[in-house]
Structure formats: C-alpha cells, structure tokens
C-alpha cells in the first residue's frame, strides 16, 4: 500500500520546556538539551499497515485484517429479555466488568419519535411501564424513543445472556461516556423545549445509567447542572471526577463540569467552557487560516458559565462572547492515562476532521490551577481523505492507540499511534452507514462497534497483542 503523508510534527521526550509567543499565542514546546539529536527532528506521519491489509469479508459486511473476526451480537428489532424490542440506531457505548467474566455493555440509541424504539411503532409496549420510569412519554401517538439498552455478554463465547432497556423517554441519545464509579452518562444531542409537537419535557441533557446486570430501568433524572445543549460525548477524570464534554455544532464549545461532590453528579457543580489563555474567542477550526498549529501545546483557561439550563439554547453563544474557544463539531471523547482526546468532525483546512488532546493541570479545577494551566494540543489534522475522514466516536486502546469511527457512507474504523501514524483497522462494506460506539471490553480482548443505520452491534476479536 502506498504511504500517504500529512504535516505532523513529533517532539522528543522533554529535557526542558520552552515557552514563547507566536502571533499573540502562548506556545509550550518540548525541547531536548542536544539540538543535534536526530530524534528531535520532526517527520511526516504515514498511513501504515499495523495489522496488515484489510481482507474482503465473504459475508460482505465488515472487512478486517487477517486473523481478526467479528460476530454480530445484536440486531435492531430483536426481542430483548424484558420483552421489549431492540431499538434502532445504536450509537455511543460503554463496556464494564461484570460478574464471573461477563461484560456489561451499555448502548445509546440516537432516536427521534419517528424512529423504531423499544416500545414498537405505536408505543403499545410502554403501557405496562410506570410513568416515573420514562422521562418523557412524548405527544401521542409518538413516544420519545431515545435512551439506552444494556447487554450482558459472556466474553468467552460472545453470547448475549441478557438484554434490556435501561433508560427510556429521552431523545437523540448520541454518545456520552463511562464514569470511574461504574455508570454510563448518556447524552442527548437535541435541545428541544417542552410543549413542542414531539415532547412534554425539555431535552438537551445528560442522564446517568448504572452499569448493572439486573434487568430494569434507571431513574431518568436529567443532570441539569451539566448544561443544556447539543451534547455529544464526555470523558471523566478518575482523579477529580471532573467531566469534560463535547458539543456537536459547527460553532460548539468544549465544556467541563466540576461536581460539588466527587462522583455525585446530581449534587450540582460548576459548568465551564475552555478558552485559550490570552486569546479571547479563539477559533480552533483552521478553516480560514492555520491559527492552531499541529503538535504545539497551548495553555488554556476555563470560563465559568451561568444560566446553564439555557432555555434559548444559547449557551455556546454566551460562552463564546465571554472568550471561550470555538470548535468544529466536537464529537467523540475519551479520557485515559491523564489525557483527554476528542474529535472535531468538520475541523481542518479541508473540513475532514481534527483530533485534539487535552492534558489537565496537576491542580485542575482548583484555585492553584492558575499557576500551572492545562494544555491543549492539535494532535491530528489529516486534510487527506485517504488517511482519515470525519472521525467521530473514539476510544483509547489498552496499548495507547486511538481507535476512531468514521462518519461517512462507507466508513473505516481507523487507528492512530501515539506518534500520529494512521492505520486501517476495519471497514463497513455492507451498508451505507456510519460506524459508532467503538469501545474495548475491560479485558482488552474484544472491541465492540456499531453499524448504526443497519442496527447492528459487532464484537471484534483478533491478535491485538502480537504487534505490541
């Protein structure tokens, strides 16, 4: 396979840190004591074959490298263990360690009232469910069908032992993220107000779903202090319980929520928006000019927001006016190893996407943070559709690579090494559908991913460790 290149600089391990200003921006670059060291020289990232070329799938569904296999473990419309129907459009997912080697997999479903939900097209299957267990029953005859399902999986056989609806009555649950305390935050990518033609409650919130093997619905309590906007994904820092959030709009912000009590999101907290230090209302999108250079770490600050329930859906506009940075469709996000990666699907000169890396301050969320700020790096901006196109949901593999779902009609599942090299891990060839929800099981043996518009959830296994 011919190698493709992008402008991608690497910096060696630091012996010192240099800070200086370029065009009014404070840059922090890593430097070594020896300017003659070849490792200090930047190089261009490549399209590599980490696991070898993709092999044509005889079933015509999903191509994978040699030695890898997939199994379809769930299909839209199947009857679940609770007697309800498997909803359509699976999206973001979280995988949790269960009992006796089981895996608890929680899936979002990005559904509006016209889509196929767990209660059937006429909503009749909701009749026996207590009203308090469904956040919004919608406007008859259409019920609000968004929410989550939970699968309890035997990882040794990839058999689903239980499946059930675990959050009900929400709208357009796109992504979210796992918490360190054993729950899933499910995020609504729809800020619509009560009293419209489709709903009786306000939407645009996060909801928390416990990772449990017991069949039942979570209490559908909106986490209003985390903000009302078009939520996409979250990443949670296990040290602080701070929750970072993306917003899926062309002029979206990056938020953080500092809970008053660690691990207790319902107890209130502060919502803030990311800003580049010394650069009010900075544009990270690089559409008109290359304002955010690759692989430079920019210091950040956080702006406290008010009126976070935003009845006018204007939180991002007010944040931007106060100095918050703007991002191009913030989507997938994952926090691991004291780093938070997130994808901006339409960022970059050619609108093919960007991936950023945020490193929190050692004093994150405290007054001492001013003495040592967190930093934001533009980790990847391919500007080449053969490398990557419209990266969306993402996760961090146990060995440190990013695994990213593309949002296009014949998308790839691609990986990015810590050095910024890109490789193809899989491709949906059977359906015109984006890929969503990539996440590894706690053991690291299984990668789960959805072919969203086909309503399929796949479990992928293979020789992950052989190339480490």
CA gap 445, 154 in Å, rounded: 12
For 394-443, the pLDDT digits (tens) are 999 999 999 999 998 889 999 999 999 999 999 999 999 999 999 999 99
> HSE on the CB side for 357, CA within 13 Å?
23
Q: 276, 181, 193: which is closest to 228 by C-alpha?
A: 193
Beta bridge partners, 85, equal 79
pLDDT above 60 for 1: no
Question: What is d(CA 167, CA 110) in angstroms, rounded to the nearest whole number?
Answer: 12
* Domain layout of the chain by residue ranges: 49-75+384-468
Identify whether the C-beta of residue 297 lies closer than 8 Å to the C-beta of residue 360.
no
Between CA 458 and CA 468 the distance in angstroms is: 24
CB crowding 334-365: b at 16 or more within 10 Å, else e: bbbeebbbbbbbbbbeebbbbbbbbbbbeebb
pLDDT at 374 over 50: yes
Report the sign of the C-alpha dihedral through residues 310, 246, 460, 431, in that order: positive
76-130 confidence digits (pLDDT tens): 999 999 999 999 999 999 999 999 989 999 999 999 998 999 999 888 999 989 9
Listed residue (51, 84, 266) closest to 167, CA to CA: 84
Q: Any idea what DSSP says for residue 84?
A: P
Residue in 337, 131, 318, 345 with CA at minimum distance from that of residue 227: 318
pLDDT band at 142 (very low <50, low <70, confident <90, very high): confident
Q: Determine the 3-state secondary structure of 133 from DSSP.
A: helix
- C-beta neighbour count of 373 within 10 angstroms: 21
435: alpha, beta or left? (left if phi > 0; alpha if psi -120 to 50):
beta
Question: Is 296 a residue whose pLDDT tops 90?
Answer: no
The pLDDT, as a whole number, for residue 13 is 31
Taking 80 as the threshold, does the pLDDT of residue 468 lie above it?
Answer: no
**Strand ranges inside 82-182, DSSP E:** 90-97, 102-109, 146-154, 159-170, 173-178
């Amino acid at each position: 396979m011919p190698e493709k290149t992008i402008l991608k600089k690497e910096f060696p391990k630091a012996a010192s840190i240099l800070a200086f200003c370029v065009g009014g921006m404070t840059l922090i670059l890593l430097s070594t004591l020896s300017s003659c060291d070849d490792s200090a020289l930047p190089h261009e990232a490549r399209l590599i074959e980490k696991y070898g070329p993709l092999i044509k799938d005889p079933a015509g569904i999903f191509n994978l490298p040699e030695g890898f296999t997939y199994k379809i473990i769930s299909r839209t419309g199947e009857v679940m263990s609770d007697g309800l129907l498997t909803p359509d459009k699976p999206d973001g997912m979280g995988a949790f360690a269960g009992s006796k080697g089981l895996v608890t997999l929680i899936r979002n479903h990005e559904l509006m009232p016209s889509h196929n939900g767990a209660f059937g097209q006429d909503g009749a299957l909701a009749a026996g469910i207590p009203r308090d267990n469904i956040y919004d029953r919608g406007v008859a005859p259409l019920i609000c069908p968004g929410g989550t399902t939970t699968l309890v999986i035997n990882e040794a056989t990839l058999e689903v032992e239980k499946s059930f609806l675990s959050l009900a009555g929400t709208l357009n649950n796109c992504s979210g993220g796992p918490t360190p305390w054993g729950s899933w935050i499910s995020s609504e990518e729809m800020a619509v107000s009560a009293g419209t033609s489709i709903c009786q409650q306000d939407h645009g919130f996060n909801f928390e779903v416990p990772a449990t093997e017991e069949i039942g619905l979570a209490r559908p309590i909106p986490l209003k202090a985390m903000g009302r906007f078009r939520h996409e994904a979250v990443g949670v820092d296990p040290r602080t319980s701070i929750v970072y959030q993306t917003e899926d709009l062309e002029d979206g912000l990056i938020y953080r929520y500092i809970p008053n009590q660690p691990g207790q999101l319902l107890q209130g907290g502060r919502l803030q928006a990311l800003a580049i230090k010394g650069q009010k209302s900075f544009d990270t999108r690089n559409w008109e000019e290359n304002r955010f250079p690759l692989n430079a770490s920019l210091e950040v600050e956080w702006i406290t927001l008010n009126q976070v329930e935003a009845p006018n859906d204007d939180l991002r506009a007010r944040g931007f006016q106060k100095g918050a940075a703007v991002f191009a469709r913030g989507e997938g996000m994952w926090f691991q190893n004291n780093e938070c990666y997130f994808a901006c699907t339409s960022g970059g000169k050619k609108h093919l996407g960007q991936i950023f890396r945020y490193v929190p301050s050692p004093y994150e969320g405290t007054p001492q943070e001013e003495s040592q700020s967190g930093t934001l790096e533009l980790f990847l901006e391919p500007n080449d559709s053969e490398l990557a196109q419209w990266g969306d949901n993402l996760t961090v593999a146990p060995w440190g690579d990013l695994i990213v779902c593309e949002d296009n009609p014949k998308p790839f599942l691609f990986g990015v090494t810590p050095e910024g090299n890109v490789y193809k891990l899989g491709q949906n060839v059977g359906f015109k559908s984006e890929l969503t929800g990539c996440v590894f099981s706690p053991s690291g043996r299984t990668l789960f991913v959805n072919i969203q518009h086909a309503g399929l959830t796949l479990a992928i296994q293979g020789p992950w460790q052989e190339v480490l």
